[in-house]
Structure 1
């Protein structure tokens, strides 16, 4: 990062996947407030990306599907070709499974045990893994390929507290996020030798559009599961951008729990 302003990210070139809504949108806006020079707002939802970019002075909306490795590589390659570097990558792209959540709700309403896993279809498993785990791999690989030659850069991926405190009936989601954590931590040990830092934020429940699609009764149960309710996207953005900032220069391979004290590890 360059520049002489007061922002932690003064002059930074940044890419935020999943930037069209929720946590990603909050990260984009905070990067913009803190001096980011060019912030690529990447999302599969073009309208969402454009809407968020339009609220900033430095955002550029781009359509990106993190499940397509060649597209991730090409986008990051174009960023480096244009700017000569890429300083910050935040991977917020992720999906949940509404069908599994509906079964959890049905069990809650009937008083019967949660019975999701034996009904889990291949397409449900693959969709969650393609975005949450494969997508993390694609973004991490392309980012370190861009940053290692420059021997600098910070990458933060958004995992989930569900990797530790697994929700009954949500095995595939928990597995995808646990895999993303382990992947990022292993990459962190390797990339650190080249001046590139990789870290993870593991949120608990966050008040995002994804969470809004969760059945109300399930949302209420999650909100009641800890000492505080749902976090705001801005609270998560604060955590994420601490890890991406120079102030976290000695933080490598961390999984930062941001779950309102629901549990500790």
Structure 2
């Protein structure tokens, strides 16, 4: 399958956030294998360097998407290096391990989770800063670069949790629902300038984030009637489809990639 797609992004310049691991790293590898020059951006600079070293024509960047100045500087550096930007895959995001532990403890004790009343302001703001504010910072920077050239494709990584909200995880669900709506609103604006924006909304996926999920909570996601946890590569393939010319008529789409767990 990968051989059939070789050259799909020949001559393109791509930036991937959260590219030091998980879905972002898989997207960076897929883009490079299909001909793109990739800027591998992650808050963990060493992780970004490790992925970039694997790839031809790749360059690492240390970027915290919650910091608008860092995002703007990353895009400025990209333009200085390559003079153009064709594809953005925004995969950077965070979860809340403490809230997951509270949910798992409740499951094991056979009682309802009690999270909202215990949720501190900083925990709320951390998830919002990265998942929602970070999406805005990346979309804004991408539009600033792409719109003058009347060309480009942006894919944001949302979550099925925006639709099938997990009990006791309000901040994560809200951040991803907000990111979906943000991406769709920007999509309707940006298409007038030749820039397409779409979203892939994964269900449970085998990433580092999933590896930190308590066993009791992972078991709660188990359902023999649907596909198991997705691989990062499977989600990256959806993202690259949305970024490719094959999806030329998709604008503001939110594609569920949840293995059949639910539909909307």
| 1:43 equivalent in structure 2 | 42
Offset of 1:122 from its aligned partner?
0.4
Checking the alignment, whether the CA contact within 8 Å between 1:226 and 1:260 is kept in structure 2 is no
| 1:54 equivalent in structure 2 | 53
Can you list the C-alpha shifts for 1:137-162, whole angstroms capped at 9, x where unaligned?
A: 00000000000000000000000000
Are positions 1:126 and 2:146 aligned together?
no
Uncovered stretches (5+) of structure 2, i.e. residues with no partner: none
* Cα distance between partner residues in 2 of 1:216 and 1:6: 38
| 2:189 equivalent in structure 1 | 190
* Cα distance between partner residues in 1 of 2:235 and 2:178: 21
| 1:117 equivalent in structure 2 | 116
111 and 6 in structure 1: CA distance in 2 versus 1, 3 angstrom threshold:
closer
* Cα distance between partner residues in 1 of 2:223 and 2:120: 30
* Cα distance between partner residues in 2 of 1:223 and 1:9: 36
* Cα distance between partner residues in 2 of 1:235 and 1:82: 30
* Cα distance between partner residues in 1 of 2:76 and 2:50: 24
Checking the alignment, whether the CA contact within 8 Å between 1:205 and 1:230 is kept in structure 2 is yes
120 and 58 in structure 1: CA distance in 2 versus 1, 3 angstrom threshold:
same
| 1:9 equivalent in structure 2 | 9
60 and 226 in structure 1: CA distance in 2 versus 1, 3 angstrom threshold:
farther
Checking the alignment, whether the CA contact within 8 Å between 2:158 and 2:199 is kept in structure 1 is yes
TM-score, normalisation: structure 1? 0.96
Offset of 1:81 from its aligned partner?
2.4
Can you list the C-alpha shifts for 1:219-250, whole angstroms capped at 9, x where unaligned?
A: 12113286111000000010000000011111
* Cα distance between partner residues in 2 of 1:217 and 1:6: 41
| 2:218 equivalent in structure 1 | 219
| 1:66 equivalent in structure 2 | 65
Mapping of residues 84-233 of structure 1, within 5 Å: 84-224=83-223, 227-233=226-232
Checking the alignment, whether the CA contact within 8 Å between 2:127 and 2:172 is kept in structure 1 is yes
| 1:27 equivalent in structure 2 | 27
Offset of 1:164 from its aligned partner?
0.3
Checking the alignment, whether the CA contact within 8 Å between 2:6 and 2:33 is kept in structure 1 is no
| 1:252 equivalent in structure 2 | 251
State the Cα RMSD in Å. Answer: 1.1
Checking the alignment, whether the CA contact within 8 Å between 1:225 and 1:262 is kept in structure 2 is no
> SS of the counterpart of 1:240?
helix
Offset of 1:217 from its aligned partner?
1.5
Offset of 1:58 from its aligned partner?
2.0
Checking the alignment, whether the CA contact within 8 Å between 2:226 and 2:259 is kept in structure 1 is yes
After TM superposition, the structure 1 stretch with the greater mean CA deviation from structure 2, 181-190 or 82-91, is: 82-91
Checking the alignment, whether the CA contact within 8 Å between 2:103 and 2:114 is kept in structure 1 is yes
Offset of 1:55 from its aligned partner?
1.4
> SS of the counterpart of 1:54?
helix
Count of aligned pairs between the two proteins: 260
| 1:263 equivalent in structure 2 | 262
Can you list the C-alpha shifts for 1:80-132, whole angstroms capped at 9, x where unaligned?
A: 12211100011000000001000001101111111111111101100000000
